[in-house]
Amino acid sequence: MSKNFTHLDATGNPSMVDVGAKPLTRRTAIARSTVVLDEVILQHFANDDIHSKKGPVFQTAIIAGVMAAKRTGELIPLCHPLGLENCQVHIALNEHREVVIECEASLTGKTGVEMEALTGASVAALTIYDMCKAMSHNIVIKETMLVSKTGGKKDFKRG
């Protein structure tokens, strides 16, 4: 079983992956979450942000995304606690007036940062929901995905 699932030992029990013998390499990951907002909410979009009674939505979501990425090892079972060297969250409206969140995480280490990037993008999306729900509950967090990763055994780039 452990050959198919890296977080299970030979007997099928949960196990943290031992990265002790792995070499240090530069690791990066970019994740994206997309949020669809009601037009009632989008009417509050100005100066590259939405302002709610709770404050500037995108700016707050950026901070929440970075904070979440830094705490991924505490949130996701068996994830290694990592000292990120960089984490950037960017939020903008696309041509369909959907909110696109991209979280990029990086470090030089023995394990990848995909989960950190995915957690950052996800929590930023959840923060947007939380800050906008008083205006409308017609909000959909449509998708969260890994866009790319480098370092480790193999690189990945979504086509």
Beta strands in 37-127 (DSSP E): 45-46, 49-52, 55-56, 86-93, 99-109
Q: Do 148 and 121 form a contact (C-beta atoms < 8 A)?
A: no
DSSP conformation letters of 8-25: B-TTS-B-----TTSPPE
Is 48 assigned a catalytic role? no
C-beta separation of 153 from 44 below 8 A: no
Catalytic option among 9, 18, 48, 130: 130
Give the catalytic positions in this structure.
Answer: 130
